[in-house]
Amino acid sequence: MWSDRDPPPPRPPKSEPEILPPERADPRRPEPDRVWVAQHRIVFTRPGPLQLVLGFLVLAAVLAVGAFTLLGLFLLSLPVMGAAIIVVIVAALLRGPRRF
């Protein structure tokens, strides 16, 4: 059942759209300019020995940069952790013995 809030059902089109074949283009539309696109051919082949060596060198370089970054972050965090431990020890000494 329809209520006042529901939108009305869609109406069918009054006429069918005309499908023009490609050879009979719209005369009102100007002819588009010719666009020349260079065609490239991409060929995938098995890598040779030189490509394998270079690929492994690039992979090793990326892994080395990542390892040095992680090592640097760890070494930078050591003084921060040391300072935090010292602050905790000093705070515990200043607070005195625990009472239960």
pLDDT tens-digit readout, 42-79 = 778 888 999 999 999 999 999 999 999 999 999 999 99
Which two three-digit tokens encode residue 47? 């890598």
Task: Give the count of domains, the chain.
Answer: 1
Whether the per-residue pLDDT at 2 is higher than 60: the answer is no
- Position 95 in a domain: yes
- Position 36 in a domain: no
Question: What range defines the domain where residue 80 resides?
Answer: 49-100
b/e per residue 29-50 (b: at least 16 CB within 10 A): eeeeeeeeeeeeeeeeeeeeee
Q: Which of 27-31, 35-39, 53-57 has the lowest mean pLDDT?
A: 27-31
- Position 18 in a domain: no
